[in-house]
Structure 1
Amino acid sequence: MEQFLGGLEILAQWQNFLVIPLGLAIGIVVGAIPGLTSDLGLILCIPLTYSMDPTMAILMLLAIYCGGTYGGSITAILINTPGTSANAATLFDGYPMTVKGKAFKALQMALYASTVGGLISALALLFLAPPIAKITLLFGPAEYFALAVFGLSVIAGVSNNSIFKGLIGACIGLFMATVGTDVISGTARFIFGQRKLMAGIDLIIALIGLFAISEILMKSQYNPKTDHKTISASAITKDKITKDEYRRCRKPIAIGSLIGVIIGATPGTGGGLAAFIAYNQTKQLSKHPETFGHGEIEGVAASESANNGACGATMIPMLTLGVPGDGSTAILMGAFMFHGMVPGPTLFSEQGNVLYAIMLGLIVVNVFMYILGSGFTRFYAHITRIPYEILAPIVLTFCIAGSYSTNNRVYDIYIILIFGIVSYFLRRMDFQLVPILLGMVLGPLAEKNFRRAMVVSGGSAEIFFTRPISCAFILIAVGSVLLFAWRNYKARSKAKQA
């Protein structure tokens, strides 16, 4: 209690309430630009914190982290291009809502769900960090592989009644994930003589090509004389979320926040996987799963509450065990150490006051995020009024600049163009791009841990079924696929009868 009260006293300094909105503004802008992830925002802003005291510095960086995760939903909803990989699941229903003229409503729900998920994650960090950290210690290679399999089961639910095409897309994604240097043996794979592919294909580069470039190509037949739609300013801002929609979204937000905390606290996963799993589980438990993927506001609520629900949870293994939960927390861990705080079991006893100030500050960050977002959401929504002949070159410019800034390589611009052209033809053949993305996200996690588990077990697959957690994940994955197949069968039977 003394440390808790001491943390409140440190947090109450007025300087902290100036750097939090600044960090959020930077994070939202960086997260909303395709290619400029919150990781990059953190790296660029760490030098700005050198002269700050530890609490102020970490709170500013946390604001950038949370703001970047939320900011990625803006472009995912408005232009079908997630600003970060954590917002990829928001594409399912966010952009279809924009197509239907409900962009403002989708942005409102993204902000509301992000705030609730972030607050629940911050409270979990504050009160449940030690017990959650003990559970994550039980995870080994078998559990991580089973978790990846569970994540891949989402493919059944996002394949638009064509599981075969979904599996083909997943195989393409898994193949793309194998390009580069093998993390186990260190040998080069599928680089075709291109040494620049030794590092593999960056996920954010793939995202830009898969969604942004292909979307521009899909609208290449756009005719401004016949296709232009003028949306009045009053029509945008009047389309607000109803009480019934808030009521319907309570369950998806609760599911998303819980999954976000669990997945986020598991090292090496992150908000992207949490969002996909939460979306799939919400769809499976919904009374109207057929509406998902066609502009269902519950889908936006589930995915955004999950990816922001993972933000605070990713800090749990970092602060308690000294193991970063994802790339952003690895950067934050470096910032902690620079300011004289070494994450690990002794941090609570050595600098408990400062640590409690930071954990309480994460709650303040999410409150400020809602305030800032509420003020600017109506301005984001007006992007839909920009004529497409003007918007398309602006988006393309940002995509090229974002892809180049990721690794400072012109080569990455060629990669996004190749991905864009290939994904354009796949979309023309009615393939879904999300299974490809899932294969790329979960491929490295599945392959690396499968091979490690085989080494540990001496080549026996029994390890995946004799360990309770891995067996449970595999059974849930199988059950999820069977449930989707059963619902699909019933829907087809009703259609034939009609």
Structure 2
Amino acid sequence: MIDGLLHGFAILSTWQNLTLCLIGAFLGTVVGVLPGLGPATTIALLLPITLKLDPTGAIILLAGIYYGVAYGGTLTSVLMRIPGEASSVVTCIDGYEMARKGRAGAALGIAAIGSFFASTVGILGVMLLSPILAELVIAFGPWEYAALMLAGLSLIAFFAASGLAKAGLMALLGLLLGTVGLDPISGTPRFTFGINELVDGINITPLALGLFGLSELLYLALVKDTKAEILRPPSSLLGFMPNKEEAKRSVAPVLRGSVLGFLVGLLPGGGAVLASFLSYAVEKRLAKNPEEFGKGAVEGVAGPEAANNSGTAGAFIPLLTLGIPSNAVTALLLGALLIHGVQPGPMILERQPEIYWGVIASMYLGNFILVILNLPLVGLFVKALLIPRRFMAAAILGICVIGVYSSNLAAFDVMLAVGFGLLGFVLRRGGFDLGPLILAYVLGPTFERSLRQGLLISDGDFSILLERPIALGFIVAAALTLSAAVLLKNRARVAD
């Protein structure tokens, strides 16, 4: 492990990779500050640019955006009570109240230090668990992979924010889009409707840019600019230091949030958002004075901020070792790897260790860069909120069109992106979450290929599952997860 980490830092030491790590962390912070933009949209916009990079550099850049967003979202949550990103929603509650009491610097300082510690814990967890999990997965056959993908799809519905029915529809649509192109077994075209450009399937670049980029453009066009009050951040580094009492009360929440966030990040469908909410609930339950929560309790900032950063790191384990994304953002990261011909899974440590260890090393350096950026440059990042939405919309439109066309130099891809942009806008206005769609699109082809391979090997006999306990265990887990999702939904309906 130590040799691998040293190898990763050697790969990171090139000027190109160092620059990409810095750019990714900086862009992630800016994206976290700008409400509504989000990491998924930004990664989708940058997918065409990464085609000109080597796989290691591309994933270093995109990963930097992913874990940098959690830092940036804290700034607006504390200073404006506006969550720049979904995982920072909980921070608004007590972070803003601390700022109103003149402790904005302490809230930001605790959040930055706790986030750095939690990210380090998460990265260590990735280093320790990924090789062990990879060795176990090497024994997987087609049935195990099919059952694993099925379990991942079931967890998408369980954790979906838009409800079980809507998440199921989105997952079904994603599965259907994943079937367009050549049949994985026979190699014959299907669902192409005579369009030659669809023979190779729907490229993830126009799909992602349309769903997340162009739909965001249409959404921004309908939202009026609003001016919110921005509380003044500290003018010196000393102003970000918490006092002795605040530091003492933050230690335990940071430790608990780091462990809780990492474990939640391992779950497909979990990630930083769920981790931050669970951490806040835990801290409020364990607090000696729970009535302080909502009025500026430092535990309400330290725990969730640690949890969302640790959860982000934990999400890389299923992505790299199983090839299963935990959320829409990691699904786009998986798509970026697939575009470069990299298949994440148990063999990535053996076949392409430079990618695995290069990403791990970049996460160490990136989180250190984020601490340096977020405290002295708070005022600069907050000024990004002054950019009029019409200028942001024009920039997104230009990037989308150029990016989609440059990926394959095909005008058809631009039309495809426009179509998906309109579809994404309609779905968003209808309250649908686009995350399950992109997740199912990425997981679907692997599920279909593995299932059909297993059926060919067993001559169509499903009873062979009784002889494969791992595959059977994943199927049982999927069934239990769907049952739990339905029960929780019905219980919530009864409670209402």
Report the TM-score range of the alignment, normalised by the length of the smaller protein.
0.5 to 0.7
Moved more, 30-39 or 132-141: 30-39
Quote the Cα distance in structure 2 between the aligned partners of 1:490 and 1:330.
40
| TM-score (normalised: structure 1) | 0.65
Mapping 1:46-57, distance limit 5 Å = 46=54
Matched, 1:443 2:452: no
Letter paired with 2:259: A
Matched, 1:276 2:269: yes
Report the CA distance shift for 1:286/1:168 in structure 2 as closer, same or farther (over 3 A). Answer: farther
Letter paired with 2:154: S
The sequence identity of aligned pairs, in percent, is 25
Q: Which residue of 1 aligns with 2:22?
A: 25
Matched, 1:489 2:490: yes
Letter paired with 1:148: M
Letter paired with 1:140: G
Q: Which residue of 2 aligns with 1:475?
A: 476
Q: Which residue of 1 aligns with 2:37?
A: none
Q: Which residue of 1 aligns with 2:150?
A: 149
Question: How much does 1:451 deviate?
Answer: 0.8
Matched, 1:166 2:167: yes
Cα deviation code 1:403-439 (max 9, x no counterpart): 3333343322211210111222233333332232222
Report the CA distance shift for 1:239/1:432 in structure 2 as closer, same or farther (over 3 A). Answer: farther
3-state SS of paired residue (2:399):
helix
When the two structures are aligned, how many residues end up with a matched partner? 429
Cα deviation code 1:286-329 (max 9, x no counterpart): 8969xxxxxx99999767645544558877799xxxxxx96777
Q: Which residue of 2 aligns with 1:199?
A: 200
Q: Which residue of 2 aligns with 1:234?
A: 232
Letter paired with 1:365: L
Mapping 1:227-306, distance limit 5 Å = 228-232=226-230, 234=232, 253-254=258-259, 257-258=262-263, 276-278=269-271, 305-306=310-311
Matched, 1:67 2:78: no
Quote the Cα distance in structure 2 between the aligned partners of 1:392 and 1:314.
31
Cα deviation code 1:362-385 (max 9, x no counterpart): 675355344455356764454333
Conserved in 1, the CA contact under 8 Å of 2:44 and 2:213? Answer: no
Q: Which residue of 1 aligns with 2:430?
A: 429
Quote the Cα distance in structure 1 between the aligned partners of 2:278 and 2:464.
30
Question: How much does 1:458 deviate?
Answer: 1.8
Report the CA distance shift for 1:458/1:256 in structure 2 as closer, same or farther (over 3 A). Answer: farther
Quote the Cα distance in structure 2 between the aligned partners of 1:45 and 1:120.
27
Question: How much does 1:190 deviate?
Answer: 1.3
Cα deviation code 1:67-110 (max 9, x no counterpart): 254357799999xxxxxxxxxxx975568989x998x999x979
3-state SS of paired residue (1:234):
coil
Q: Which residue of 2 aligns with 1:87?
A: none
Q: Which runs of 5+ in 2 are unaligned?
A: 32-41, 76-83, 97-103, 283-299, 324-332
Quote the Cα distance in structure 2 between the aligned partners of 1:394 and 1:409.
21
Question: How much does 1:181 deviate?
Answer: 1.7
Question: How much does 1:139 deviate?
Answer: 1.6
Quote the Cα distance in structure 2 between the aligned partners of 1:347 and 1:425.
40
Conserved in 2, the CA contact under 8 Å of 1:154 and 1:280? Answer: no
Conserved in 1, the CA contact under 8 Å of 2:87 and 2:272? Answer: no
Q: Which residue of 2 aligns with 1:365?
A: 365
Conserved in 1, the CA contact under 8 Å of 2:152 and 2:268? Answer: no
Quote the Cα distance in structure 2 between the aligned partners of 1:64 and 1:396.
21
Cα deviation code 1:205-249 (max 9, x no counterpart): 32222233223323444445xxx3244363799999998899667
Mapping 1:36-55, distance limit 5 Å = 37=46, 41=50, 44-46=52-54
Question: How much does 1:448 deviate?
Answer: 1.1
